Amino acid sequence: MRNQIASGLKLNPQDAIQGLANGSARVFGFVGSVVGTMTYFVMAVFLMVTMFVFLSSRFDRLWKVKKLLPESKRELFCKLVRGVDQACSGYVRGQLVVAIFTTTGFCIGFWLADVPYWFVVSIIGGVLSLIPYGQCSGWLLAIALKYLESTAAQGGPSGSILSVILLPSLVYAITQSTETWLITPLVQARATRLHPVTIILVLLTGGFVAGIVGLVLAIPVTASLKVVYRELDVSGLLEEGDSQS
């Protein structure tokens, strides 16, 4: 009997090394993908913030470019710049309203779910919701704090999956779904004068084509293009182009 148990416990060193190597490769592959995604995310946000700061600080100098244009086109150029500026600033104001809604939804939900430090977690998730997928931080932080609380209370892992994982996940799912499919289209439609259905379509298209950068730029770019098209149409340049062609 002992010989059978001993033989059963024997492990081929080559198989053990192979299994360890395969497991390590999977772990490092997962970690690498996570690091790569986070690096791309950080770089995208950094570049967008840098471009925004640069353009804001140089706006007065850029505005002097109108002097290089023919006098007959300067008024149209000013209208285009003002219209694009209003569209982009409206988008930023709309995002702030959406972030306030996300923070409020997290506050109510995480309080009902009895998440430790629910107010701080909600603020973090709401502020980071200004960045695509940033609100996930509030969800993950809520689960981690619930788990640590249940572990510290009993000296080991305790508490049901319902209270530790499912309740924070339910709060996140409801808040995120409402924000994505209802609040953002309605708020941004009013802020940028785009139709709510257009908001949803451009977000889906931008996320599919360019990922995080596409999600950030989809609405302001579409609103700016609408302004440019409207001003060109009013000025008659589009009709002149059609007649010449």
pLDDT interval class at 186 (50, 70, 90): very high
Q: Which carries the bigger pLDDT value, residue 4 or residue 121?
A: 121
Q: What is the pLDDT of residues 34-81, one digit of tens each?
A: 455 556 655 665 665 665 555 555 556 665 666 666 677 777 777 888
pLDDT interval class at 8 (50, 70, 90): very low
Q: What pTM, to 2 d.p., does this model score? A: 0.70
Dist CA 76 CA 78 (whole Å):
5
Dist CA 154 CA 239 (whole Å):
75
Q: What is the pLDDT of residues 164-177, one digit of tens each?
A: 889 999 999 999 99
Grouping H, G, I as helix, E, B as strand and the rest as coil, residue 8 is helix
Dist CA 216 CA 48 (whole Å):
9
What is the 8-class DSSP label of residue 159?
A: S
- Closest by CA to 107, choosing from 88, 91, 120, is 120
Helical (H) or strand (E) element with 47:
helix 13-57
pLDDT interval class at 201 (50, 70, 90): very high
Sequence-distant (6+) residues with CB within 8 A of 184 are: 94, 98, 199, 203
Angle at 197 between CA 193 and CA 202, to 5 degrees: 85
- Closest by CA to 179, choosing from 212, 222, 130, 146, is 130
Sequence-distant (6+) residues with CB within 8 A of 83 are: 224, 227, 228, 230, 231
Q: What is the pLDDT of residue 112?
A: 94
Judge whether 126 and 103 are in contact, CB under 8 Å.
yes
Backbone angles phi, psi at 42, to 5 degrees: -65, -45
Tokens, residue 26: 């999977």
Q: What is the share, in percent, of the chain residues with pLDDT greater than 90?
A: 35
Q: Is residue 176 exposed (0-12), middle (13-18) or buried (19+ Cβ within 10 Å)?
A: buried
Q: What is the pLDDT of residue 5?
A: 43
Judge whether 104 and 179 are in contact, CB under 8 Å.
no
Q: What is the pLDDT of residue 9?
A: 44
The yes-or-no verdict on residue 86 having pLDDT over 80 is yes
β strands within 21-163, DSSP E = none
Handedness of CA 10, 12, 16, 22 (dihedral sign): negative
Grouping H, G, I as helix, E, B as strand and the rest as coil, residue 216 is helix
